[in-house]
């Protein structure tokens, strides 16, 4: 199985979220096996190095693992792992082939954090396939932390990134199809989600993380989600751990989810408990949680991992021994 549509046709009349959506980039129906329903390993189950990512992204975690296993840094593992998905034209939520905004423009958001708490991000970047690498360059080569839109593209071009058309035929077709029936206004509960958030610990025990996305499909022009924003879509503290998010970015932003999870781990919560509490913060304020999805993953300094989402249908991939393990984490809405 590959990454899947997070929210499948949750109806406006409140029928709720279909638990398991069809894969956005694949046509087959998805069934969750009993094995998959097992929670991902928590509390001491992982050896270091380790990488964990949102969704079923074995190619990406596999690449990150290769870097980690050969003694590479967690930062390199994150960049190279995320690049795999960004270059995958079939994935319609990240990089090349990402679904466009309402006007048909593919606009990308990404960020990266290293073991020293350094952070770099790009928002509303167009025409550049690897926003994660541009984000890293922002972090390493500029005195700034976020570059947006035209400025970000200009910076990327001057750093040698090749501009290209990111709107594939398949994504263009999907957008044209969407235009036929959809109202030209935001309808949060039928948007599609599939951000890649990735956390890694290298052989030295140092933590890094990254997050890369084309954001909500058919979003309003100019919309930026949680994924490139420090503390929301991603947060790393090398003394404590890291967390990253996927789902409806607006809700993650309002609760500063990833920072919250890291701070909860600092206070002694396990990654699993911390993810659960961060989802609880959203639920406690949102009576309409049936209409949207958020999922978190986290890792602590010991390599223990956790993941939790509002609804069923969230997946993670971990690799700490060369094998990519896909799991379906626990979730809140059991009704």
Active-site positions read: 195
Of residues 21 and 215, the one with the C-beta less far from ligand ASP: 215
| Contact present, 102 and 184 (Cβ < 8 Å) | yes
Six token digits for residue 173: 């077709």
Comparing CA positions, the residue from 220, 174, 224, 173 lying closest to residue 195 is: 224
* Nearest-approach distance from CB 133 to ligand ASP, in angstroms: 19
Strand order in the sheet with 330-331: 234-237, 241-247, 294-300, 305-309, 330-331
Residues 20-49 that bind ligand ASP (CB under 6 A): none
What number of chain residues touch ligand ASP (CB under 6 A)?
14
* Nearest-approach distance from CB 297 to ligand ASP, in angstroms: 12
For residues 247 and 216, give the distance between their C-alpha atoms in angstroms, rounded to a whole number: 9
Q: Report the residue from 226, 263, 291, 312 that binds ligand ASP according to the rule CB under 6 A.
A: 226
* Nearest-approach distance from CB 45 to ligand ASP, in angstroms: 26
For residues 90 and 106, give the distance between their C-alpha atoms in angstroms, rounded to a whole number: 14
CB atoms within 10 A of CB 312: 19
Of residues 81 and 249, the one with the C-beta less far from ligand ASP: 249
Of residues 247 and 329, the one with the C-beta less far from ligand ASP: 247
* Nearest-approach distance from CB 196 to ligand ASP, in angstroms: 9
* Nearest-approach distance from CB 255 to ligand ASP, in angstroms: 13
Q: Report the residue from 92, 126, 195, 318 that binds ligand ASP according to the rule CB under 6 A.
A: 195
Comparing CA positions, the residue from 17, 12, 74 lying closest to residue 313 is: 17
Stretch that binds ligand ASP, among 167-175, 192-200, 304-312, 322-330 (CB under 6 A): 192-200
198 binds ligand ASP (CB under 6 A): no
For residues 71 and 83, give the distance between their C-alpha atoms in angstroms, rounded to a whole number: 19
313 binds ligand ASP (CB under 6 A): no
215 binds ligand ASP (CB under 6 A): yes
Residues 91-150 that bind ligand ASP (CB under 6 A): 93
56 binds ligand ASP (CB under 6 A): no
Q: 132 vs 166, 202, 287, CA distance in Å? A: 15, 19, 34
- What angle in degrees, to the nearest 10, is found between the helix axes of 74-87 and 58-69? 150
DSSP 127: S
* Nearest-approach distance from CB 193 to ligand ASP, in angstroms: 3
Q: Report the residue from 80, 107, 246, 320 that binds ligand ASP according to the rule CB under 6 A.
A: 246
193 binds ligand ASP (CB under 6 A): yes
Six token digits for residue 166: 């990111």
Of residues 286 and 302, the one with the C-beta less far from ligand ASP: 286
Six token digits for residue 270: 């396990």
| Contact present, 25 and 173 (Cβ < 8 Å) | no
Six token digits for residue 308: 């939790």
Residues 247-306 that bind ligand ASP (CB under 6 A): 247-249
309 binds ligand ASP (CB under 6 A): no
Phi/psi region, residue 256 (left: phi>0; alpha: psi -120 to 50; beta: rest), is left
Q: Residues in the site for ligand ASP, rule: CB under 6 A?
A: 93, 193-195, 213, 215-216, 225-227, 246-249
């Amino acid at each position: 199985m590959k990454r899947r549509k997070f929210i499948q046709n949750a109806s406006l009349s409140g029928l709720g979220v279909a638990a398991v959506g069809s894969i956005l980039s694949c046509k087959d129906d998805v069934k969750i096996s009993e094995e998959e329903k097992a929670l991902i390993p928590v509390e001491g189950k992982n050896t270091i190095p380790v990488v964990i990512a949102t969704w079923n992204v074995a190619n990406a975690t596999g690449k990150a693992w290769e870097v980690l296993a050969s003694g590479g840094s967690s930062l390199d593992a994150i960049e190279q792992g995320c690049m795999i998905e960004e270059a995958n034209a079939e994935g319609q939520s990240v990089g090349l082939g990402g679904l466009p905004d309402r006007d048909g423009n593919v606009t990308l958001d990404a960020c990266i954090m290293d073991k020293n708490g350094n952070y770099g991000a790009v928002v509303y970047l167009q025409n550049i396939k690897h926003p994660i690498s541009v984000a890293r360059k922002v972090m390493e080569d500029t005195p700034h932390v976020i570059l947006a839109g035209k400025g970000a593209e200009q910076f990327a071009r001057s750093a040698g990134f090749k501009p290209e058309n990111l709107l594939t035929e398949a994504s263009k077709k999907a957008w044209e199809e969407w235009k036929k029936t959809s109202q030209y206004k935001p309808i949060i509960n039928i948007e599609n989600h599939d951000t890649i958030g990735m956390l890694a610990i290298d052989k030295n025990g140092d933590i890094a993380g990254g997050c890369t996305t084309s954001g909500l499909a058919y979003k309003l022009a100019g919309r930026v989600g949680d994924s490139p924003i420090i503390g929301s879509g991603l947060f790393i503290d090398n003394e404590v751990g890291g967390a990253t998010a996927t789902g409806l970015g607006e809700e993650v932003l309002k609760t500063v989810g990833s920072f919250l999870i890291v701070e909860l781990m600092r206070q002694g919560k396990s990654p699993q408990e911390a993810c659960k509490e961060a989802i609880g913060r959203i639920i406690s304020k949102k009576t309409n949680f049936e209409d949207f999805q958020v999922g978190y993953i986290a890792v602590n300094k010991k390599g223990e991992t956790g993941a939790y989402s509002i609804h069923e249908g969230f997946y993670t991939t971990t690799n700490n021994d060369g094998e990519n393990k896909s799991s379906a984490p626990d979730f809140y809405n059991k009704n």
